[in-house]
Amino acid sequence: MKTAQFNLEFVIFFVSSMIIMTALAFFFSTGFTESKEQRLYSSLNDVTYYLASEIQMASSFRDGYSKQLLLPERINNKNYIILLSQNRIWIEQGESSSDFFSVPFFSGSIDNINKSNNRISKKSGVVIIEREHLEE
């Protein structure tokens, strides 16, 4: 009788331990996935905010303003695309995207923006973004 009771207690302990370990593994894996998605969202927003604020700042300066505009080639080691529609700018990477940021009208296409070295300037009241060609 004592052996049967010991075996039953062992089985109950083992099964409850496995349930607790499975619940903890699920909890930590879900938390890690959510924090990874949150970091990606934050990174996309940081780059979009930087680009939008540079455009806003250039529009507020006088003609002749010029500055190098550096953008990362990749975000979290993945390619991304910069999109513009009706003076709203945002970044997409796969199925994730940043918030929309409003920007004033600027000359040059989003396709013209290089994911590294660019030049942002203001001429004749218009903000211009163009690829910067580095001398080698």
Q: Give me the amino acid identity at 128.
A: I
Q: How do residues 12-45 score in pLDDT, each as one tens digit?
A: 888 888 888 888 888 777 666 667 778 888 888 8
- Rounded CA separation 96/120 (Å): 27
Q: Comparing C-alpha atoms, which of 64, 46, 69 is closest to residue 115?
A: 69
9 within a domain of the structure (yes/no) = yes
35 within a domain of the structure (yes/no) = yes
What pLDDT was estimated at residue 8? Answer: 79
Query: In the numeric block, which tokens belong to residue 108?
Result: 């040059």
What pLDDT was estimated at residue 62? Answer: 92
110 within a domain of the structure (yes/no) = yes
Dihedral sign computed on CA atoms, order 47, 52, 53, 59: positive
Q: Say if CB 103 and CB 87 are below 8 A apart.
A: yes
Q: Say if CB 84 and CB 51 are below 8 A apart.
A: no
123 within a domain of the structure (yes/no) = yes
Q: Comparing C-alpha atoms, which of 65, 57, 56, 42 is closest to residue 88?
A: 56
Query: Total domain count for the chain?
Result: 1
Residue with tokens 């075996």: 7
Expressed as residue numbers, the domain containing 27 is: 2-131
Residue with tokens 């905010």: 49
What pLDDT was estimated at residue 108? Answer: 63
Q: Which H or E element spans position 128?
A: strand 126-131
What pLDDT was estimated at residue 63? Answer: 93
136 within a domain of the structure (yes/no) = no
Q: Which residues of the chain have pLDDT under 70?
A: 1-4, 6, 30-34, 107-112, 133-136
